[in-house]
Copies of this chain bind each other. A is one copy, B any other.
Amino acid sequence: MVKIVAIGEPMIELNAMTVGKLRDVTYFEKHVAGAELNFCIAAKVNGVDCSLIAKVGDDEFGYNVIEYARGKGVDTSMVKVDPKLPTAVFFIQRGYPVPMRSISFYYRKGSAGSSLSPSDIDVSKIREADLVHTTGITLAISDSAKEAAMEGLRNSRKSSLDTNIRLKLWSPEKARETLLKVIPEVDILVTDPDDARIIGNVSEPDEAFSFFSKMGVSTLVYKTGIEGTYVYHEGEKFVQRGYHVQVEDPTGAGDSLSGTFISLLLKRKSVDYALSHAVASATLVVTTRGDNEIIPDEESAEKFLKEFK
């Protein structure tokens, strides 16, 4: 069976039950999230085994992450429990100041997850995997986590990276500098115009592909939102438009898109098939508060696509 290893910090998400400024929100709904865990769950739902390399705290939220991920079928045998540091949490503010958009407020500084280091990477497991995945978030949260991620990428048979630049975690300069170093290690790159502008001062899809392919990227997944997701792969260009639905919270949509697309590609599905499923998956994710629960399996994505074609 195809197997992925993902490296990154899982977190407890506290999602506002009502739209508006967080100061006026009384109730929060807890979910388990984190870009790489979301990716892993998308892979698993699509029939690809996925192991998460991560650290959590020796606290209720840490065991929450492990139980949830294990329940969803993610291999958690490489999730370590740090005896001292806490599991990270973040809060989601929805619909303010922009309707249908969300903002995250992180409490992850000094967290167990950000203390991940190269010693936490089991290189033998990395080498066995068909693909190693990480994101710009892991590169941003701490130097040791960045080193851990790079240790993973360097030893991988194949690798993917979602740039995922979060300006609450690092400056554009720091992000650019780091990503320019890391991207050459990567086979499949997932990014979007905002991030491409920071990294390479490019924004048009073709221009972005030209830029990143020169850096050695062989497959580019370029997300421009509702207008469409572009894929450049083996000399071909593909595009899939998004779908208009009632938006609850877009958080996690990108992770589900990349996790679905890449895992279906690894399963040797066509790019068209993988891309349409990936966009279906991301579309469903924006209709709910959680980041990964609603990710559809292949049969369900087909039902979605039959209605929305």
Contact = CB atoms under 8 A, between A and B. Distances in A.
Contacts of A283: 99
Most chain B CB within a 10 A radius of its CB, from A67, A98, A105, A287: A98
Interface in A73-124: 73, 86, 89, 91, 93, 95-101, 105, 107, 109-110
30 contacts: A14-B28, A17-B27, A18-B288, A18-B289, A19-B287, A19-B288, A20-B293, A20-B294, A21-B60, A22-B60, A25-B30, A26-B26, A27-B27, A27-B28, A28-B28, A67-B71, A67-B72, A67-B73, A70-B71, A86-B107, A89-B91, A89-B107, A96-B294, A96-B300, A97-B300, A97-B303, A98-B307, A99-B243, A99-B287, A246-B247
A89 B105 CA distance: 11
Interface residues of A, number: 61
A97 B67 contact: no
Closest 5 pairs between A and B when the two form their complex, measured CB to CB: A71-B71, A97-B300, A22-B60, A23-B64, A24-B293
Interface of A: 14, 17-30, 59-61, 63-64, 67-68, 70-73, 86, 89, 91, 93, 95-101, 105, 107, 109-110, 243, 245-248, 283-284, 287-290, 293-294, 296, 300-301, 303-304, 307-308
